[in-house]
Amino acid sequence: MMPNDLPSGEHYASVVAHDKAGNKSSATKIKVWFDTVQDPKAGTNRALNQPVTVSSIHSDSYAGAKAVDGNAATRWASLKTDPTWIQIDLGKTVSIGRVILNWETAYAKAYQLQTSDDGSTWTDIHSTTTGDGKIDDIADLNGRGRYVRMYGTARGTGYGYSLWEMQVYANPQAPAMITPGSGQTVDSNDVRLGWLQPDADAVASYRLTVDGDEVTPGPAPADREWTLNLPDGEHTIQLSAVNPLGSASTPEIPITVAAVPLPPAWAAGTEYEVGDKVSYDGITYECQQAHTAQQGWEPPNSLTLWNRL
């Protein structure tokens, strides 16, 4: 018997000894618990210890909070009514990529997973009429909301509905690129990317592509900047956040940059002719009047001398 074959919760095992003559001992019955082992790649369970509301409880021992207490030996159980629901307040609106339902014997045969921003208007993100209990691991969700609800419409047994645990995992949103701006001309040897990341704790890795080719190794989950060295010319750069299950966020709108070597950096004491170009803080300026550069005349402070391109 392998524990992996059994759902989390209470089980009984019995041991009987046989002697060589075929005599059997009496059975020794032992009670064992199996807990759901947290998948280290699953990320943060957003439902853990969050506020729960349920349509009914079987008794005080089976409160809704028992389904999100992280303990696979405690459970919520409902009355024998349809429909029955359990909703979890995640505390803030997040994108929802995966829900795991760990059913006790009393499972739902037909139910919907729903999300809501206000706890009153609900959107279906998953529906089944063929549930068979045990563990329902629904990993291909594309939902968003502050509240998540299991709305059961048909029971699989003569009992009510009962969950050992209900877990909710987020998907990261797309990164928001700050720099460079699309269409910007940048130094091809030093293309510096900078971005913000909503739902940062749902990011397992980033997928960064240049002209469709993935950059490896790419940024780490904690990174918010990255430097590329690109050939001169126009390039399309795209960045998306990847969740622990390998699903990428909706890709960031691609940015197109014209990567060219920047002109020499501005330097005090240098003579510049009209039309000469200099680089200052990564921006290109064109000389408007022939002069010898001095501190205080550096771009962009001196508009009569330097025109920003």
> Which stretches of the chain bind Ca ion, using CB under 5 A?
66, 69, 71, 74, 165
Report which of 10, 15, 12 is spatially closest to residue 34, judged by C-alpha positions: 10
Least distance between Ca ion and beta carbon 73 (Å):
7
Amino acid at the residue 8: S
* C-alpha span between 65 and 78 (Å, rounded): 12
Least distance between Ca ion and beta carbon 37 (Å):
14
Least distance between Ca ion and beta carbon 7 (Å):
13
Q: Is 64 helix (H, G, I), strand (E, B) or coil?
A: helix
Handedness of CA 183, 186, 191, 194 (dihedral sign): negative
Least distance between Ca ion and beta carbon 33 (Å):
12
Place of tokens 């389904």: 67
Least distance between Ca ion and beta carbon 63 (Å):
10
Beta carbon nearer to Ca ion, 162 or 240:
162
Distance of CA 280 to the CA centre of its chain: 39
Beta carbon nearer to Ca ion, 52 or 255:
52
Beta carbon nearer to Ca ion, 164 or 226:
164
Beta carbon nearer to Ca ion, 36 or 185:
36
Q: Which residues contact 39 (CB under 8 A, 6 or more apart)?
A: none
Beta carbon nearer to Ca ion, 65 or 110:
65
Q: Which residues contact 238 (CB under 8 A, 6 or more apart)?
A: 208, 209, 251, 252, 254, 255
Least distance between Ca ion and beta carbon 45 (Å):
12
What 8-state DSSP symbol labels residue 95?
E
* C-alpha span between 156 and 134 (Å, rounded): 11
The Cβ-side half-sphere exposure at 280, using a 13 Å CA radius, reads 20
Beta carbon nearer to Ca ion, 165 or 298:
165
Least distance between Ca ion and beta carbon 90 (Å):
17
Beta carbon nearer to Ca ion, 165 or 199:
165
Least distance between Ca ion and beta carbon 99 (Å):
15
Contact 243, 204 (CB under 8 A): yes
Contact 226, 175 (CB under 8 A): no
Report which of 173, 178, 225, 224 is spatially closest to residue 203, judged by C-alpha positions: 173
Beta carbon nearer to Ca ion, 45 or 249:
45
Nearest residue (beta carbon) to Ca ion: 74
